[in-house]
């Protein structure tokens, strides 16, 4: 039987190989003897689709697991106590299989890799915790990082709620005026000998154009093409304030994720590969791939980052200090904390600015619509006179 094996080498390379064996356990034992770490094992040609475990459920599970481990309860016993907890059926089913794999001799990291569905950063932290013999400490750092990430995401969404509401109301009002009000005025004007101004004619034509553009935008949004994501990111980075906020947010996530992985004992190259795989930014993901290759070739991390302009210049400078003082994880945590504070300030400034700008824009749009509707009325009154 042939299996497709995804694994990492001692140097941190992530590779794939097709191996013939009787069972996945045989493959894992073989690769472990060669010094490799198996990420996943699949039967060739099955294309098994694994459901991703929700990050909220995983955070809750690890909070309970960490509490049990700190209380001195062994890992297997802790997992058996938690296997029926939680409301996520996907996680419960996965834990049942993880426990069975551990009973058959697999480590915790090998078991979750075999099941799939767990975030790569989480799997790497478990590997680092097992190798360093400090799994509770590594899980605690991962939980603090996830709490930060979820808190930042929630703050940004809350801050953008009011501007989003204004935009929705604006588009609804424009849609009603263009598709309901203006056509009725056009029917009224067509009954008399009144020539419509160019502004009114343009708005009447714009109604159909806007409808077509909305459909195209909806299809594009549903498709979510990588090219569309890349172009959207380029536009976002060029917007004042918003571009800086976006850049600082990804700089903070990059520094904190890399710091967590390095603190767990993973090599720099392997940590960079994991960060690049989990990065949501297409631009940053491509550049991190190039940085990983440069670091693998022997270049200092700070030099590769500064030359590629991936993150904020302050981050590359702090990384240089951390490399020279052999305290890179600590420096990454410090710069991430600084970025968090700046993100909070920038978020407040951006949201405070968006409100007035949208109100002025809405006023200009409404003024233009009123002129387009009422100018023909003034012309009609002149014709009657």
| pLDDT per position as a tens digit, 239-268 | 777 777 778 877 887 887 788 778 777 788
CB atoms within 10 A of CB 278: 15
Distances (CA, A) of 27 to 12, 222, 353: 19, 40, 58
Can you give the pLDDT at residue 382? Answer: 57
* pLDDT above 50 (res 360): yes
Is 160-385 the same fold as 55-133?
yes
- And the tokens for 318? 């702090």
| pLDDT per position as a tens digit, 229-245 | 666 677 777 777 777 77
Q: How far apart are CA 206 and CA 292, in angstroms?
A: 49
Can you give the pLDDT at residue 231? Answer: 67
CATH number of 2-43: 3.10.20
Q: Which is more confident, 378 or 90?
A: 90
Tell me which residue has tokens 């297997």: 76
Q: Which is more confident, 335 or 196?
A: 335
Q: How far apart are CA 112 and CA 108, in angstroms?
A: 6
Mean pLDDT on 106-131: 80
- The H-assigned helical ranges of the chain are 24-33, 55-70, 75-82, 89-103, 108-115, 120-132, 135-159, 161-176, 182-190, 198-223, 226-238, 242-263, 268-278, 282-296, 301-308, 313-325, 328-384
* pLDDT above 80 (res 93): yes
Can you give the pLDDT at residue 186? Answer: 65
Strand order in the sheet with 37-43: 14-20, 2-8, 37-43
CATH number of 160-385: 1.20.81.30
SS3 266: coil
Find out if CATH 1.20.81.30 is the number for domain 55-133.
Answer: yes
Q: pLDDT band at 47, cuts 50/70/90?
A: very low
Q: How far apart are CA 270 and CA 125, in angstroms?
A: 12
> Is residue 341 classed exposed, middle or buried when 0-12, 13-18 and 19+ CB atoms within 10 A define those classes?
exposed
Looking at the DSSP assignment, which residues form a beta bridge with residue 16? 6
* Domain ranges (residues) in the chain: 2-43, 55-133, 160-385
């Amino acid at each position: 039987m042939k299996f497709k094996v995804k694994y990492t080498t001692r140097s941190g390379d992530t590779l794939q190989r097709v191996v013939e064996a009787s069972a996945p356990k045989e493959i894992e034992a073989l690769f472990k003897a060669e010094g490799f770490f198996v990420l996943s094992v699949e039967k060739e040609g099955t294309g098994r689709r694994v459901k991703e475990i929700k990050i909220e459920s995983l955070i809750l599970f690890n909070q309970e697991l960490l509490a049990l481990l700190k209380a001195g309860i062994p890992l297997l016993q802790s997992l058996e106590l938690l296997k029926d907890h939680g409301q996520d059926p996907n996680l419960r089913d996965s834990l049942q299989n993880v426990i069975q794999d551990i009973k058959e001799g697999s480590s915790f990291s090998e078991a979750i890799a075999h099941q799939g569905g767990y975030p790569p950063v989480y799997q790497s932290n478990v590997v680092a915790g097992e190798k360093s013999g400090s799994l509770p400490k590594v899980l605690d750092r991962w939980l603090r990082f996830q709490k930060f990430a979820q808190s930042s995401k929630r703050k940004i969404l809350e801050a953008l709620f009011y501007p989003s509401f204004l935009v929705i109301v604006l588009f609804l009002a424009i849609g009603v005026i263009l598709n309901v009000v203006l056509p009725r005025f056009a029917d009224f004007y067509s009954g008399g000998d009144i020539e419509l101004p160019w502004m009114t004619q343009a708005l009447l034509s714009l109604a159909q154009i806007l409808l077509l553009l909305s459909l195209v935008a909806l299809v594009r949004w549903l498709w979510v093409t990588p090219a569309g994501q890349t172009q959207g990111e380029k536009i976002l980075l060029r917007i004042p304030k918003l571009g800086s906020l976006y850049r600082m947010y990804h700089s903070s996530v990059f520094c904190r994720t890399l710091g967590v992985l390095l603190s767990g004992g993973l090599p720099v190259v392997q940590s960079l590969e994991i960060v690049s795989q989990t990065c949501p930014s297409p631009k940053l993901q491509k550049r991190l791939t190039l940085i990983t290759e440069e670091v693998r070739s022997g270049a200092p991390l700070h030099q590769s980052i500064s030359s590629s302009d991936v993150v904020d210049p302050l981050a590359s400078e702090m990384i240089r200090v951390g490399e020279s003082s052999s305290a890179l994880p600590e420096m990454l945590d410090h710069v991430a904390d600084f970025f968090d504070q700046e993100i909070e300030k920038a978020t407040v400034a951006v949201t405070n600015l968006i409100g007035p700008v949208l109100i002025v824009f809405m006023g200009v749009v409404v003024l233009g619509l009123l002129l387009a509707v009422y100018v023909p009325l003034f012309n009609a009154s002149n014709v009657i006179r």
